[in-house]
Structure 1
Amino acid sequence: MRIALFSRFLKKEQQQLVQEVFDALARRPEWELYIYQEYYDSFMGRIKINNPFHCFQTHEDFRAAELDCCITLGGDGTILEAVTYVRDTGVPILGLNMGRLGFLAMIEKHRIEESLQAFEQGALVEDKRVLLQLESSSPLFGSANFALNDFAILKRDTSSMVIIHTYVNGEFLNSYWADGIIVASPTGSTGYSLSCGGPIIFPRSGNFIITPVAPHNLNVRPIVLSDDVVISFEVEGRAEHFLCTLDSRYRAIQASCQLAIRKCDFQTTLLRPDDRNFLYMIRKKLHWGTDSRNY
């Protein structure tokens, strides 16, 4: 069994817990580990590793290893970054939650050993998640031009609002006078889009959401579209540059840059226990429907 371990860096307060993860992996000496190089550099000499291991740095390294699973140690942001290495390999992601929310990284600290056993037995549920793919007139994000959560066009700093002319399959939809606009996948519906008033969408619903950020129009609301459309944009404003984001990654763009979003050709697979489905997570993590009269 070949397992990738991905995280950004080791936080001091997480050292004991991370050691417990490696101890649990050591009880499976037949597992061969592939550790993200920057993460390994952050804890080298402080964490004891008993399994045979190698390090990887790039997507190409990840692909060449022919891995069976990618375990992330962190929060939801760690999973979003791991997706840029996993890409279209089909390697499932198992998120161990060491962050704050843990909406995508569903494995709590006390369930690490239990979840590794479930993975060994093939008892974890596979959640297939749609990604967004960006097409642009300049290679803004190189080959990592996709996002699990959302794409956004935003004004920079304290500049005045922007006007984002939006088209669906080439047909004019609306001109958004706003601080920006978000296109979210169903997975991203519980993220940035939700905080801007967007709806919650079930993971396999086959939809995209367009959510304006601080719109200057009282009659503009989020809209849900089928995910088989192409959404394109033209941006104008008083500033020379704007921001374009894919999940937590961003680039500065000019108004002349042509942008379009469509469904990605590949999907991401998230692993979860059977008792941690989407309904459980929105009730537990987002407190959906919480009312003192129910208790």
Structure 2
Amino acid sequence: MRRVLLASLATALAATAGYSALNLSSEADAAATLPPTHAKFDYQIGGAYTPPAGVQVVTRDWTASPAAGLYNICYINAFQAQPGDEGSWSSDLLLRDASGKIVYDADWGEALLDLRTADKRSRIAAKVNGWTNTCASKGYKAIEPDNYDSYTRSKNLLTASQAKSYLTLLATYAHSKNLAIGQKNTVELASSRTSIGLDFAVAEECGQYDECGDYVQYFGNNVIVIEYTNSGRTKACSAYGSTLSIVQRDVDVSTPGSSGYVRKTC
């Protein structure tokens, strides 16, 4: 989901150590193919359509089919339930406050998933990994698990450590299916990418909030940038247009022909 309302977090060029971390660290990882860097990219999580000419990498929802002949990333809402989809989850896997009320992401109307125990993380991962299976069977090359930063919206009920432990389960499983896995946003945890097993980054509005360099520090050029404003795109393109994959989309990530459709590149 678009984290358009993220506040600015903490730009440094990638050091040699940062680039060495790009090497996949196990035999399981070695089978995963990373997205090509500095590639023409399109973000289609709001609906699949014929990619514009020249596009090499596309992200689509896990329920959609991949685009033929391109590198396809499979979007999964891994840390929150889709709007109105609470009923598809076991009641105890939805995060609840002290009064028993479900905790929601107020911006998107999504119930947060409860990552507080190893058992719950395992049960949630089992369901999400089923979606990863679907991605693999359809021919996707990578997954993009969204809402890694749900702990920041959890009323202090979840921790960054719990989020990392859970994402490690997803990364291990993705690699077992020969899929790469991307870190979605959450730049403050980018330094943990190697220990978790993350292969690339998908950064929304890093140009707008001067965060692109922070991703580059840990992921090198394996960073896909999505901006939602002209100013953000201009800043990202000015600094990283020759090295990173950058696209501007409309906030709703709509399809061509829709009144709000926007797609611009460097």
More RCO (CA 8 Å, sep 6+):
2
Please give the range of the TM-score, normalised by the shorter of the 2 chains.
Answer: under 0.3
Would you tell me which structure has more strand in proportion to its own residues?
Answer: 1
Bigger-Rg structure (1/2): 1
Between Structure 1 and Structure 2, the one with more helix by share is: 2
TM-score by length of 2: 0.24
